[in-house]
A and B are shown apart, each in its own frame.
Chain A
Amino acid sequence: MEIKRSFRTIALLMMGALSLTACSDDDDDEPNNAPEEKINSVFVVNSGSMGANDASISIIDLDSNKVYNNCFVNATGRQLGDTGQDAVRYGNRIYIAVSGSNTIEVIDRKTLKSVKSIQPAAGKPGSPRDILAYGGKIYVSLYDGYVAKIDTASLAIEDSIAVGPNPEEMTIANGYLYVANSDGLNYGNAYENGKSVSKIDLKEFKELSKIEVIVNPCKLASDKDGNVFVISIGDYGTIPATIQKIDKNDKVSKIGEGTLMACYENTLYTINAPYGAETIDFVSYNTTNGTVEKANYISGEELPSNPCGMNVNPQSGEIYIGSYDGYNYTSDGFVFEYSANGTFKAKYNVGVGPIGIAF
């Protein structure tokens, strides 16, 4: 059989060599122009593949259900850079954290034109990771171990404070800023300093305490009642990715297992897609008592194959999940849209690694 096939291949090869046809199937799509002002839209930060300078912005227009890709480069004439993380719309501007390029890009909300590219000064802590806005300030976690405060008028870093090593996501609850200290680069020592969430007083801009959690905390979310939820990714070995709740008295309790989450009113939507797992779980919890609301808040045919980011529209309660195209981590991904009750609505083609979804 094998030999027969080999001969056939050689014969085919001889014929193939004669008919040298070079077909180029390169998609030469037309430039996708950024939309005009779109308040009713989803702002997607595509991380790109690390070291490939292919971070990008996609905007989903919720009125026309149309997606616009490469919005940043189309509006500014400049590429977003390497490893986009997250964005926040605040006032008439949008702030984007780009960790590989070590920049915080500030763009106009309407025109998407660049207002300023904030770069931490040489020698100063950098590598912006997560970004949020509160009380006239922008807060950015810096992977170098700090949280920076940006003044929205001067667009300069006005202060920064040290937190734990390699901070990831942040959330604001009860007037405090919570930051997950992952120690994610200390794999050589089992993330030994990554077992806490820093609680920061915003008036003094100073760390009040470090709340002890399971190793390698990365994700943070909070509900309107001030309950804080943290996902510790664990050690990729015996300790699984775990969702924990931090109550108002900083008491930590385990809720379940998960790798991504988003809060909407009193519901915590979670996704558990640990590396190498056969199935992906979509479990929602009640944020007050931590009980399971729905074992499968979304189901059916149209499910993300490899989720990497999620958020819930605070206006409508619609669920948005960013996903890679299966194992193709370097090619364009998708954003899946579901109604508040879990019905599939749309699948949008976006850039590589849609990890940051902002409203």
Chain B
Amino acid sequence: MDKIKLTCFFTLLSIQFLFGKGPDSTLPPTEIEEVVVTAPGENPMPTTHTTQSIEVKESERKGITSVPNAIRRMAGADIKDYGGIGGLKTISVRSLGAKHTTVTYDGIALSDCQSGQIDLGRFSLEQLSQIRLSIGEDDNILHTARHYASPSVLELQSASPDYTDKDYNAQGKLKAGSFGMINPFASFDHKIGKANWLKVSADYLRADGQYPYTLKNGNIKTEEERKHTAIESGHAEINGKFYLSPRTQLTAKNYYFTSDRELPGQVILNNAKENQETTQDQNFFTQLQLRTDWERTTLLFNGKFNWAACRYYDVGRQYPNGEVNYNYFQREWYGNSTIRYKANKHFSFAQAFDYTFNSYNFNAYTCVYPKRHTLQDALSGKYENRWLTTTATLLGSYFKNEVETGEKPKDQKRISPACAVAVRPFPFDLYFRASYKDIFRMPTFNELYFNQIGVKNLNPERSKQYNVGATYQVHSEKAIKSFTLSADGYYNEVKDKIVVIPRMIFWSFINMGYVETTGIDVMSQCEVKSSTRTSVLLSAKYAYQKAVDKTDKASALYGDQIPYTPLHSGNGSLAFENPYLNISYNLNVVGKRYCLPQNKKENRVAPYAEHGITAYKQVKFKHFETKLRGDILNLTDKQYEVVKWYPMPRRSYQASVEFIF
């Protein structure tokens, strides 16, 4: 705990120091490209590779209600949603599951070494400017080594303030909705000197979360209510950007999240007993980025400290002394240095070196106080000219495990190659791309060490990805302002998949699965200027995923579609913007899935279509502007499940009012 306090203190101190000193930058900030994430440009689809982004300012037009809801709109991405407000929401890209996606916040990876997955419900749309998803190899080579270490990367980029007409920005928003949801947000930022700034923001969420649902038990349908669902959470950030010299910029981010949740658990049939589990989570991290740009060379340094605590509590006569009370703690220290050298107009090279230290403990005698040191080094090269971009990366990883008692898991060493090529053969915006990536994920600390169930001899899960695709886009000043069509075909294989198996009353893990996925992702967006004062924005995505278990030919499961992977799914939105009241409609369709590996009738999860409507209006006053928005979610009152036995809410409402000064 002292270490954390110290870190907070130093981070604040460093910001104070910079704040006090003030910059003497003469270079306008716009001349330096944004760190890590490419600046949001005209095109919603970047020119090469399977990379896509969503601008948060477009969220009204697409009826986007939250970060997970935005991610769901991206080709190849899926959200696993356990329902309710504040319930766990994780990303799965091309059926690989949450543990195979690295999530970064302002360029540095978010971490949860315990579960290996990031709860995307913890991030506020209001804090962000852009969400970007890269599948396979990325064409930007100025990255940390960790950026290359998973099949896909989801980048959350926080909003940078705009000081065009004044030296500060203030924003206040109040969102309220069904099931007792109240979600205020406030932020304030101020320019310091010529280009530096400091921003403070916070949001709070509370909800009762009790909603009615229809339960089907055999042939019997009953009306039930989701109970034990209350949530209270808060999230605050202090961010800043400082120019140490015209060529050197420092970005600082401090993040704190806390939540107190009742867990409704899955629905258990024929059971009147209410779930009693609760969790309390806390997460703090502080991160610094330093970037220097010379003529040909760019240097990037990143540092981060992350701390997370989770308290799990349950009561019941079955437990020793009538309760269980587990406290889990994890820490991460992280450092990176990346150098990129542009040899000439065409060739550039980069080397990224990362060191990560993770430790984890919990309050049971089975805790062995595990620690993991990770060294990663990524060498990448890029060649680009007017009609071709190609990149290749070689990632070397070394993992050293330590435990305080007993046998330690073996250390791991791996070399992972990746390459990509994109071609623009014609003088218009039509791109073709192909990529290959060989990567793996390490077992999480839960899989290795959790109470009784962890298995120390687990091997990494290995994955290979092959992708081919094309994008066509046009922009014009005519009626069709922009049009984008993108399609990708891919093949993935996962070897040594870590599979959960029960062992008496506990669960355990083994490396046994082998899964092959063949899929197609199609995405399109079109903006039409329907008249001088009105416009129509249409966007849609479709995904085909055939993800089959090919573990054991003799097994009945051979060739079965893996759980929670619909063969067909898609969504779309249509916005009509006019001077009176803007309206957007969105639809999400998911085909049938299975909740367990065996493709039998009993395991089927029914297909569903969910509709939503958003109405929004922006009013500009002399000194401030107001945004009003109302949403109807699940318009048709459809009862559905994303995860079996976690019923989703039927029709619900949200409204928000926002003031921007």
Contacts and interface: CB of A to CB of B under 8 A. Distances in A.
Q: How large is the interface on B (under 10, 10 to 19, 20 to 34, 35 or more residues)?
A: 35 or more
A330 B599 contact: no
Contact of B318 (A13, A127, A233): A127
A9 B466 contact: yes
A286 interface: no
A183 B505 CA distance: 12
Contacts of A16: 489, 491, 518
B272 interface: yes
A165 interface: yes
Given A25-B560, A122-B272, A187-B506, 16 more contacts: A20-B544, A22-B568, A52-B595, A53-B645, A70-B602, A102-B268, A102-B270, A117-B270, A184-B505, A185-B318, A187-B452, A188-B364, A188-B366, A218-B504, A327-B510, A332-B600
Interface in A231-265: 233, 236
Interface stretch (A76-84, A203-211, A294-302): A76-84
Interface string B560-599: 1000000110000000000000000000000010011111
A180 B604 CA distance: 38
B602 A189 contact: no
A71 interface: no
Q: Which 7 A-B pairs have the closest CB atoms?
A: A17-B489, A144-B317, A331-B598, A188-B364, A77-B219, A81-B269, A330-B596
Interface string B466-501: 101000000000000000000001110000000101
Interface stretch (B183-191, B370-378, B550-558, B651-659): B550-558
Interface stretch (A26-34, A131-139, A309-317, A339-347): A26-34
A185 B319 contact: yes
B320 interface: yes
B34 to A, nearest CB: 32
A328 B557 contact: yes
Interface of A: 6, 9-10, 12-14, 16-17, 20, 22, 24-29, 49-54, 70, 73, 76-82, 98, 100-103, 105, 117, 119, 122, 125-127, 143-145, 165-166, 183-190, 193, 218, 233, 236, 275, 325-332
Most buried by B among A50, A73, A193, A275: A275
Contacts of B436: 6, 10
Interface of B: 217-220, 266-273, 316-320, 324, 363-366, 434, 436, 451-452, 466, 468, 489-491, 499, 501-506, 508, 510, 512, 518, 520, 544, 546, 552, 555-557, 559-560, 567-568, 592, 595-604, 644-645
Contacts of B501: 327, 329
B556 A102 contact: no
Chain B's interface: helix, strand, loop or mixed, by majority? Answer: loop
Contacts of B267: 53
Contact of A144 (B219, B316, B365): B316
Chain A's interface: helix, strand, loop or mixed, by majority? Answer: loop
A9 B546 CA distance: 16
A184 to B, nearest CB: 6
Nearest to A259: B504
B644 A52 contact: yes
B489 A14 contact: yes
A331 B270 contact: no
Contacts of B520: 17, 20
A330 B598 contact: yes
B552 A326 contact: yes
Most buried by B among A9, A13, A183: A13
Nearest to B518: A16
A187 B507 CA distance: 13
30 contacts: A6-B436, A10-B434, A10-B436, A14-B489, A24-B567, A29-B601, A51-B645, A53-B268, A78-B218, A78-B219, A78-B220, A79-B217, A81-B268, A81-B270, A98-B270, A100-B268, A101-B268, A102-B271, A102-B273, A103-B271, A127-B318, A144-B316, A144-B317, A185-B324, A188-B320, A188-B363, A188-B365, A218-B504, A328-B556, A331-B597
Contacts of A122: 272-273
Contacts of A187: 364, 366, 451-452, 506
Most buried by A among B267, B318, B452: B318
A239 to B, nearest CB: 14
Contact of B600 (A27, A188, A233): A27
Contacts of A14: 468, 489
Contacts of A105: 270
A331 B557 contact: yes
Contacts of A236: 452, 503-504, 506
Contacts of A126: 273, 317
